Amino acid sequence: MSRPAKRVTVTGAAGQICYALLFRLAQGDVFGRDQPIILQLLDLPQAQAAVRGVVMELEDCAFPLLQDVVITDDPAVAFRDADAAFLVGSRPRSKGMERADLLLANAEIFKVQGKALNENAKRDAKVIVVGNPANTNAGILSAFAPDFPKANVTAMVRLDHNRALSLLAAKAGVPVSTVEKMIIWGNHSPTMLADWRYATSGGQSLSAMVNDEAWYRETFIPKVGQRGAAIIEARGASSAASAANAAIDHMHDWVQGSNGGWVSMAIPSDGSYGIPEGIIAGVPVICADGEYQRVTGLEIDAFSAEKIAVTVNELQSEISAALGK
């Protein structure tokens, strides 16, 4: 094992997503089975004992790639020399809490973590924000990390992307592994647009194969958007293993490439597709050589433009509320 270890910051380490995520990271599912890692785990002071319990389990897996684990409640320690960061921890909505208060509470967390990222992480670190409201939290993080490259702060819409792949594959009766060119536009919220217009299976258009525009508009799009709520209803807890899996997929493809395939990532907009510059919104990308490239030049029809405007307006109002404007 001659390669230097990658330092990976993970926040919300005592939570349920991390209970799936940390083991996959330590197994080598993001950086490869020949890349040692050091986990730098951040959680609140009152969660430190629970983090230690998770770390005991990590030790008991005897993962060959896991070189060291840092446990801390200090963001500066968690982000020190980080090569990658998974920002999973956030403030959930408590009973009676207004949406604006939730946005403000999370903004406080991501301001602090943005400063810690700015002062401590490597300049080429790759950051994914999972903790909700993920896109807006990523925007706050980036705003408070002025010396850190904006392009390297992303948010997760990959769970929506994966949900859309499965749902469309089932409807069309094709293996999910054959579905390509799915797109999630906008916010990780029920307003996002799961866009099937370019999706193919074995080179064939899936929208032509299914040939049911009403199903697309009235069932598929809302079902992808409300899948999180359906899981809470059925499981009594929010999606965790699938969220961890999506975070792994997002970072894996960013680091190792997507083999020419389209994946959805929420990245700072360049102003294209009617999304104002700087807004961190889901778009289609292709990843190669450790970079993502936006898929450009796609036609946006009237229906899609209207849907994208709704989700982008929501993002803009969330950012304003989070900044207390």
The contact set with ligand NAI (CB under 6 A) reads 11-12, 14-18, 42-44, 47, 88-92, 109, 130-132, 134, 156, 159, 188, 238-240, 243
* Shortest CB 44 distance to ligand NAI, Å: 4
* Shortest CB 239 distance to ligand NAI, Å: 5
Cβ-based nearer residue to ligand NAI, 172 or 246: 246
Burial 272-293 (b: 16+ CB within 10 A, else e): ebebeeebbbbbbbbbeeeebe
Question: How far is Cα 180 from Cα 158, in angstroms, rounded to an integer?
Answer: 14
* Shortest CB 74 distance to ligand NAI, Å: 10
Question: How far is Cα 285 from Cα 295, in angstroms, rounded to an integer?
Answer: 5
H/E element holding 109? helix 99-120
Phi/psi at 267 (5° precision): -130, 160
Cβ-based nearer residue to ligand NAI, 104 or 298: 104
Whether 250 is catalytic is: no
Cβ-based nearer residue to ligand NAI, 22 or 206: 22
Judge whether 111 and 142 are in contact, CB under 8 Å: no
* Shortest CB 292 distance to ligand NAI, Å: 17
Which residue, 38, 128, 143, 49, is CA-closest to 89? 128
Which residue, chain included where needed, has tokens 């490869």?
Answer: 32
* Shortest CB 182 distance to ligand NAI, Å: 15
* 239: region left, alpha or beta (phi > 0 left; psi from -120 to 50 alpha): beta
Burial bucket for residue 20 (CB in 10 Å: 0-12, 13-18, 19+): middle
Which residues sit in the known binding site for substrate?
A: 93, 99, 132, 163
Cβ-based nearer residue to ligand NAI, 11 or 304: 11
Determine how many CB atoms are found less than 10 A away from the CB of residue 309. Answer: 14
CB nearest ligand NAI: which residue? Answer: 15
Which residue, 210, 188, 160, is CA-closest to 267? 188
Which residue, chain included where needed, has tokens 């946006």?
Answer: 300
Cβ-based nearer residue to ligand NAI, 128 or 172: 128
Give the active site residues.
188
